[in-house]
A and B are shown apart, each in its own frame.
Chain A
């Protein structure tokens, strides 16, 4: 495997303002400015995080709720901006964050293929060419012409997964999505993802399922309160992580 760096995170910090009361109207804001009462509580969701991911590495991000896992994936995906430090990435990135989040509920499945595909940056011609493949993989059949608001959450996720995994990405971001749909579809989606693995796709993976993490990943980063606790081979890190959580 080549040693090309796919993701490089340097001294990453993400700060949120937690204003004690939410001020979202102009009057209140002006009154508070005059009275000098704009108080913010600062909260660092991530601080001083640095790591590099080489091509073909499959990295699990471990941590309890609120450790900063999702924030980190969002920064890498480009949805959230870093407050300090930098994030560099190369190649095509496909985020499987929440499947079907970009769907318009009033649009039919077929129309949403073009809309969601466009959001991921695919051209119309490409989507037209792949249309049949997407419909076939999602197994939606005639439901593809029904508005998405009438879909079950499983159907939505199936369609989202089918569109998002159209291209072979260089970097794949998975956030608890390997449990979509029914058992049959899950097997199928796992197969597709494993295919990508074998082609050398770099993976960032968030899951609370440690067995899955051990079987899929090669490396793990353990986050706690926005800081890296441990970074190393998956077996060791997962073991240490498990030990702390079972200790309570």
Chain B
């Protein structure tokens, strides 16, 4: 059966898996899906308090700055972590029913993406409250939004494959995520912290490239096309590698689960 035909047959499963992830995440909590918006809002309040009140930095629109960075980073972080666990978490099903295996990590990433998109509502509200009004530049937002999905899916597939064979990938990835977080300029301005000659660290981090243009779209600034090109290339390449490695190794999964 061709790939497209198989995908069509199991499209319903993908929808069901995404629904399941979201439903179960908020089951038994009073506020339910509202947490998707409340949680980033509360983190933003904490970070704003710490960095603007205690450290005396930041301006009127600093909360918007923090929120843009944090939303993108936390989707990437949660999405890759969930994908990493997806194959192992569904081991009992993989052993008994034939289903295209990429459905599991892909569904984990997609459910995180849906939550991410819902939480953009918070960003819109905070932006207006803080006096950051939409401009025509906002339409550019679609580019970083697609890039981060590509990158997360690609990296997630690669991690999911590796995690089947080596359990310590999960811990190593936790450390890597920390490094990525601190070089993504989520709660500080790059210029204020890093000297000119260390700026290459940020140029290398694809997540920073995505966040930078996401911010440019929100704040009505011109796009950084160099960063946009880098993030696109990184996204496409990581997706190709992730999918390739996953397909090469997927028949062996069952022997290691």
Contact = CB atoms under 8 A, between A and B. Distances in A.
Interface of A: 16-17, 24-27, 29, 77-81, 95, 97-98, 101-102, 104, 106-107, 111, 114-115, 118-124
B247 interface: no
B10 A118 contact: yes
Interface of B: 9-10, 12-13, 15-17, 20, 23-24, 27, 92-99, 165-169, 172, 251, 254-256
Contacts of A118: 10, 12-13, 15-17
Contacts of B251: 81
A160 to B, nearest CB: 10
B24 A107 contact: yes
B167 A24 contact: yes
Kindly list the 8 A-B residue pairs having the minimum CB-CB distance in the complex, ordered from nearest: A78-B98, A118-B13, A101-B96, A81-B251, A118-B16, A26-B166, A118-B12, A25-B168
Given A102-B97, A107-B20, A16 B255 contact: yes
Q: Which of B93, B165, B169, B172 has the largest number of chain A CB atoms within 10 A?
A: B93
A118 B107 CA distance: 13
A124 B96 contact: no
Contacts of A77: 97-98
A175 to B, nearest CB: 10
Q: Which of B93, B96, B166, B254 has the largest number of chain A CB atoms within 10 A?
A: B96
Contacts of B167: 24-25
Contacts of B165: 24
Q: Which of A16, A79, A120 has the largest number of chain B CB atoms within 10 A?
A: A79
Contacts of A17: 255
B139 to A, nearest CB: 34
Given A102-B97, A111-B23, 5 more contacts: A25-B166, A26-B172, A118-B16, A119-B97, A121-B13
B166 A98 contact: no
B148 to A, nearest CB: 27
Contact of A124 (B12, B166, B169): B12
B254 A119 contact: no
Nearest to B252: A81
Contacts, number: 71
Nearest to B13: A118
Nearest to B92: A101
A17 B255 CA distance: 8
Contacts of A102: 92-93, 96-97
Contact of A80 (B9, B168, B254): B254
B158 to A, nearest CB: 14
Nearest to A126: B12
B97 A26 contact: no
A104 B96 CA distance: 14
B13 A119 contact: yes
24 contacts: A17-B255, A24-B167, A24-B256, A26-B166, A27-B168, A79-B97, A81-B251, A95-B97, A97-B97, A98-B96, A101-B92, A102-B92, A102-B96, A104-B24, A107-B20, A115-B17, A118-B12, A118-B13, A118-B15, A118-B16, A118-B17, A120-B97, A121-B13, A124-B12
Contacts of A98: 96
Nearest to B95: A79
Nearest to A123: B12
B191 to A, nearest CB: 38
A171 to B, nearest CB: 13
Given A102-B93, A107-B24, A119-B93, A79 B254 contact: yes
Contacts of B98: 77-79, 95
Contacts of B168: 25-27
B255 A115 contact: no
A107 B24 CA distance: 8
A234 to B, nearest CB: 27
A79 B96 contact: yes
A104 B255 CA distance: 22
Contacts of A120: 97
A115 B251 CA distance: 23
A104 B20 contact: yes
B87 to A, nearest CB: 14
Q: Which of B13, B254, B256 has the largest number of chain A CB atoms within 10 A?
A: B13
Contacts of A124: 12, 15
A26 B169 contact: yes
B24 A24 contact: no
A122 B12 contact: yes
A119 B20 contact: no
